[in-house]
Amino acid sequence: MKLLSVIFIAGLACTGCAVFPGPARETLDQADAKLVATDYAGAQVLYAAFINADPGNPQVPRARAMQTVLDRLLSTESELDRAKKSDETPRLRREISERQGELDRLKGEVAKLRADLERVRTIELQTAPGSK
């Protein structure tokens, strides 16, 4: 009977550990909440804290993946902000417009050359020996 009560108490203790999340799990939940709230920098910090607090947790690979995604997202956002603030955007738009104009001119020239080639073929067929 004593053995049975010890097993029961040990089972309750293990169940209690599973039901009540530890600080690392709370950190992961907070990181997920910040991600949903679009606080990407805050989420990134909390994912790092979770990884450092409980490196053996089975959720660590997911946290590392989210951290990598957030690194890239934040990096891209900062590059986009720099591009918006720089004077390079109007210059690039001008260059694109110039290139488009050049492309349109070259397309017209190609169309004229194709028409000339077709006329030459027609003339050549008419003057070839054995043709009427």
Tokens encoding 37: 């709230």
Q: How far is the CA of 35 from the CAs of 46, 80, 115, in angstroms?
A: 10, 20, 60
Over residues 32-91, the pLDDT tens digits come to 999 899 899 999 999 999 999 888 899 999 999 999 999 999 899 888 888 777 777 788
**For 83-126, how does the pLDDT look when each residue is reduced to its tens digit (9 = 90+)?**
777 777 788 888 999 999 999 999 999 999 999 999 999 998 88
Q: What is the pTM of this model?
A: 0.50
- Read off the pLDDT of residues 1-39 as tens digits, 9 standing for 90 and up: 444 333 434 444 444 344 335 777 898 899 999 989 989
